[in-house]
């Protein structure tokens, strides 16, 4: 029975890297999130802040996402990056299991409200929402090319 358990553990460990953006699932186990935090601290903190508050990169602690807020979306962003915005692809540096852990950790930061959090960016993501996001739910975007008139209300 012990040999069977050892073989099963070895097989499951090998399956940790048979994950892609379509099959990834959210991890909730404390150990997996702790590993995700270690990966985040080593690779993501410089652009997204120690607490996910956002610095050069976006804030991870609110419900607004530039590239989608599902586990599949976050995994995809980590894997392929967003080169035009300075986000590199991590697929050459991180194995799929590591990307899953860091994506799960990033999503666990929602609602933590760290000090000095960057303003929300992108669209409101609500898990399970079936319709397109409501325009009134997205944060106001300031047109920096427009000259404000004294009677205009600025958001």
What structural domains does the chain harbor? 17-111+120-128 (1.10.760.10)
pLDDT in tens, 32-88: 999 999 999 999 999 999 999 999 999 999 999 999 999 999 999 999 999 999 999
pLDDT in tens, 100-137: 999 999 999 999 999 999 999 999 999 887 544 444 44
pLDDT band at 16; cut points 50, 70, 90: low
Q: What pLDDT is attached to residue 59?
A: 97
Helix (H) or strand (E) holding 14, with range, is helix 2-15
Q: What pLDDT is attached to residue 5?
A: 74
Cβ neighbours of residue 98 under 8 Å, at least 6 residues apart?
Answer: 35, 39
Cβ neighbours of residue 61 under 8 Å, at least 6 residues apart?
Answer: 51, 52, 53, 109, 110, 111, 112, 113, 114, 117
Q: What pLDDT is attached to residue 1?
A: 80
Higher-pLDDT residue of 148 and 118 is: 118
Q: What pLDDT is attached to residue 140?
A: 41
Q: What pLDDT is attached to residue 150?
A: 42
The mean pLDDT of 26-35, rounded to a whole number, is 98
pTM confidence score: 0.74
Q: What pLDDT is attached to residue 3?
A: 78
The mean pLDDT of 141-153, rounded to a whole number, is 40
């Amino acid at each position: 029975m012990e040999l069977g358990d050892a073989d099963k553990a070895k097989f499951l460990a090998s399956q940790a890297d048979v994950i892609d953006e379509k099959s990834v699932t959210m991890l909730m186990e404390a150990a997996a999130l702790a590993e995700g935090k270690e990966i985040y601290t080593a690779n993501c903190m410089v652009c997204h802040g120690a607490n996910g508050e956002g610095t050069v990169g976006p804030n991870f602690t609110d419900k607004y996402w530039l590239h989608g807020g599902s586990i599949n979306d976050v995994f995809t962003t980590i894997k392929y990056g967003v080169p035009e915005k300075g986000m590199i692809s991590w697929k050459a540096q991180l194995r799929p299991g590591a990307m899953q852990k860091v994506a799960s950790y990033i999503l666990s930061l929602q609602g933590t409200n760290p000090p000095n959090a960057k303003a929300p960016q992108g669209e409101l993501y609500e898990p399970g929402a079936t319709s397109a996001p409501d325009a009134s739910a997205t944060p106001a975007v300031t047109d920096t090319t427009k000259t404000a008139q004294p009677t205009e209300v600025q958001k």
